[in-house]
Amino acid sequence: VLSGCESAKAGVGSEPVVSTQAGKIRGSVTQSGVLSFKGVPYAEASERFVPAKPVAKWEGVRDATEYGKISPQMEFMSTNMVSDEISDNNCQNLNIWTPASDKKKRAVMVWLHGGGFSSGNAQETPAYDGENLAQAGDVVVVSVNHRLNILGFFDLSKYGEKYRYSGNAGVQDIIDSLTWIKANIVNFGGDPNNVTIFGESGGGAKVLALMTSPRAKGLFHKGIIESGSTDTMGVVFTKQNVAHYVTDETLKSLGFTQDNIEEIQKVPFERLLTAGEAVLAQAAQDLGIDGTMGPGTPLMWEPVVDGDFMPTDPVSKDGFASGGKGISLLIGSNLNEWTSVPLLAKSAEEKARLEKLSETEILAEAQKLYGDKAEKVIAEYKKAYPEKEAYNALFIDTMIRLPILKTTAAKADQKSGDVYSYIFGYGSPFSFHTFEIPYVFNNAGTSVMGTISTDVEKDKKIAELMSGAWISFAKTGKPETALTGKWEAYTRESGAVMILDEKSILTHHHDEALLKLLVPEYEW
């Protein structure tokens, strides 16, 4: 037996068996020789809205070759509920890919999926498969399922001590997964003292939540945030008075009071979530606050700043959350994020059209977007991104870029843990939200939101670039590689940003004048 495993590196077709604190599990071996363990339970939730319990021990060997259940939710871009066959409140499971279950103590990379705090799961797309990343970097890759939406972020704390932390049950699940990793990952060839959490969009916001909650202290050592911050989800989270309003109105619509609150354990999930979503849709207007995606949009489920589990916002007037001290951070966004998503269905044709635009035509389209600032915007864009064609100025993202910059600057001001800043520009103007994920996982050829026509060989090189930088950061705390070239840490003074692309460029304060021109009132 090597580190609790009956086969340190089994051949293809054999079945690796590894010991955990709860019992032995049997995984599988991929064609590349990576060991894979899926649906591994890290905790068990027997009730809604309360912390899950440690996994009960079992006899014999438990199968871990199939993905586990996911959190109940609505299907993405649909009002249909995910089938009960694949979803459950007891969805606390994770997936592991490791080159070998020996005593090497490899860096551990823990993936937190996107979908805000409302939807998604650890296995929803081939882009999340950890095999190639584990093999390329000789690292252990873990992805985590946890409770979402109303099951993970419904603040019932007014209704009894039992529900004191219900507003952050989803984050508690992730903390439980990290606790399990700390105790068990050495048997999978991982180092519990070198754990990096990384996530995109809502997954990046989950990284911020973990950097804010004192309950996660010591369970991870570095963080990576990919496009994971907006001004109302990431920079800040839900205030408790807002969470209480949403809870009270939802319970009222369902007919629950303090006297019958335990009946909420039995109400069908679809009815529960539908009631909560209806209140969220109206709450921002009722309370006179901005919705999650800006003025006029609904609120969304997210962590609750209760002064205890979540003591502060991740970023406040006092700076970055104290829980983030000592944690180095790699943080950035994609060049186009949401601006070009509407064009994905006809991306090839649209790119061909854009490439034929004259300067006069580009200016005319820019004037529709930027008004009398159009000429200045194009000029500043060319200064910021001299490698890009001018038509890219029609797809400038500020919705994610500005909050990411605010978060980056606040963390750098903390002066406790280095901060490395990036912008992913490959594929522009279709460097959209989620586009970097397949390259980070070294899974070129897969996609999350849609497929666009790109050069296969270039894709492979970008995958080598991105996965290499992420692996380097996980192993050493510095993302610099031979492919990136020199990569300085970000400070307010340096404004150092790495533009990751076919030709990666380290630049300084490169887009700040452009951002000030577009959103002069924004402060970071």
Catalytic residues: 201
Please name the residue that has the structure tokens 């551990």: 108
φ, ψ at 36 (rounded to 5°)? -125, 130
Q: How far apart are alpha carbons 287 and 289 in whole angstroms?
A: 6
Residue 248, classified by CB atoms within 10 Å of its CB into exposed (0-12), middle (13-18) or buried (19+), is middle
Please name the residue that has the structure tokens 């059209």: 353
Helix axes 359-370, 374-384, angle to 10 degrees: 110
Q: How far apart are alpha carbons 437 and 198 in whole angstroms?
A: 11
What burial letters (b/e) apply to 412-432, b meaning 16+ CB within 10 Å?
bebeebbbbbbbbbbbbbbbb
Structure tokens, 187? 């048997």
Q: How far apart are alpha carbons 486 and 484 in whole angstroms?
A: 7
Length of the chain (residues): 524
What burial letters (b/e) apply to 269-282, b meaning 16+ CB within 10 Å?
beebbbbbbebbee
307 conformational bin, left if phi > 0, alpha if psi -120 to 50, beta if neither? left
Closest CA to 148 of 92, 192, 84, 189: 92
Q: Specify the 3-state DSSP secondary structure of 497.
A: strand
Q: Specify the 3-state DSSP secondary structure of 519.
A: coil
Cα within 13 Å of Cα(83), Cβ side: 2
Structure tokens, 211? 């950097």
Q: How far apart are alpha carbons 317 and 410 in whole angstroms?
A: 9
CA torsion sign for 107, 113, 116, 119 is: negative
CB 198 within 8 A of CB 109: yes
Distance of CA 366 to the CA centre of its chain: 32
DSSP state of 313: -
CB 489 within 8 A of CB 477: no
CB 422 within 8 A of CB 498: yes
CB 190 within 8 A of CB 221: no
